[in-house]
Amino acid sequence: MTGGTGLIGNELTQQLTRDGHQITSLVRQLKSPSTEATTFARWDIERGEIEDASRLEGHDAVIHLAGESVAEGRWTAERKRRIRDSRVNGTRLLVEALARLKAPLRIFLSASATGFYGSDRRDETLTEESAPGADFLAGVCREWEAEAMRAEGFGARVVLLRTGIVLSAKGGALAKLLPAFKMGVGGKLGDGHQFMSWISMADELGAIRFALENQAVRGPINLTAPQPVTNAEFTETIGRALSRPTFLRVPPFALRLAFGELATTIFGSLRVLPKRLEAAGYRFEVPELEGALRPDGLASSK
């Protein structure tokens, strides 16, 4: 696994090791000692190196989640380079290392994002068959996925995990929003009409494991709940869960001043449906937004 120390990767690692799986986690810096269930190995994407790549031998699957955060500050030219290179170059490095293994890998799950479809498709219904977008993140996703698909060359079943907004109070977008909402100063973005394609942490992990274990799942799958909501609906639901007012509004110009180009993504509208995931038989644990907020303790949080 790569990205095993991130929000999703950490939760997934805990689940898999509890179920008896053994994991080799590729990390940038060796901070934790290896255990019986998890071995740590170092890789350096900038240098194009995986130290002791022989440790990758003998595994059934790779879950590739690594990538520089896209939501940490303004997109300078250097930051955009790091966002792209961490995904595109990192995936290329990993696939090339896997291709040299003595025992062929059977399964390659690679993170992607609903950003594949662009930043703003208004109320268009988007499925895995929809055309890609044309902005910066869409371009990164296209290159990222193309590098991952090269794993088919050595016989791996490749799954591209196009993840939406993962809801967890432990981190990610929701954790950043909660302080403002708890203080009663949370509100909708602009007019609130833009769609948000979200997924609960429970279903994010469940869908990844479903893709891991089901041979029929391959190619791109949308990891989003079957009921996307508008930003206004999202705002109202958090307000109800916290018993806090949500009458304020964040004007578009304020986010543009604060975040520059990133503001286009924040204000964008993506109505993405998990068509292939549901067709393959996955049943969502949390299909509705109100249920997604309760497991994180928001309903009782004051």
User: What mean pLDDT is predicted for residues 140-154?
Assistant: 98
pLDDT > 90: percent of the chain? 75
pLDDT tens digit sequence for 221-256? 999 999 999 999 999 999 998 989 999 898 888 878
The chain-wide mean pLDDT, for the chain, equals 92
25: which 2 tokens? Answer: 């986690």
Please, what are the domains in the chain?
7-296 (3.40.50.720)
Q: What is the CA radius of gyration of the chain?
A: 19
pLDDT tens digit sequence for 169-179? 888 888 888 89
Instruction: Note the pLDDT of residue 264.
Output: 85
Which is more confidently placed, 176 or 3? 3
* Alpha-carbon gap, residue 274 to 279, rounded angstroms: 9
Instruction: Note the pLDDT of residue 140.
Output: 98
pTM of the model: 0.94
Q: Which amino acid is at 202?
A: A
Report in angstroms the alpha-carbon separations of 37 from 25, 40, 43, 190. Answer: 10, 10, 19, 47
Please answer whether residues 41 and 33 qualify as being in contact, where contact means their C-beta atoms are separated by less than 8 angstroms. Answer: no
Handedness of CA 141, 169, 207, 195 (dihedral sign): negative
* Alpha-carbon gap, residue 11 to 100, rounded angstroms: 30
pLDDT tens digit sequence for 44-61? 999 999 998 888 999 999
Instruction: Note the pLDDT of residue 263.
Output: 82
Residue 110 has pLDDT above 50, yes or no: yes
B/e letters for 260-288, b = 16+ CB within 10 Å, e = fewer, are: ebbbbbbbbbbbbbbbbbeebebebebee
Instruction: Note the pLDDT of residue 52.
Output: 84
pLDDT tens digit sequence for 185-203? 899 999 999 999 999 999 9
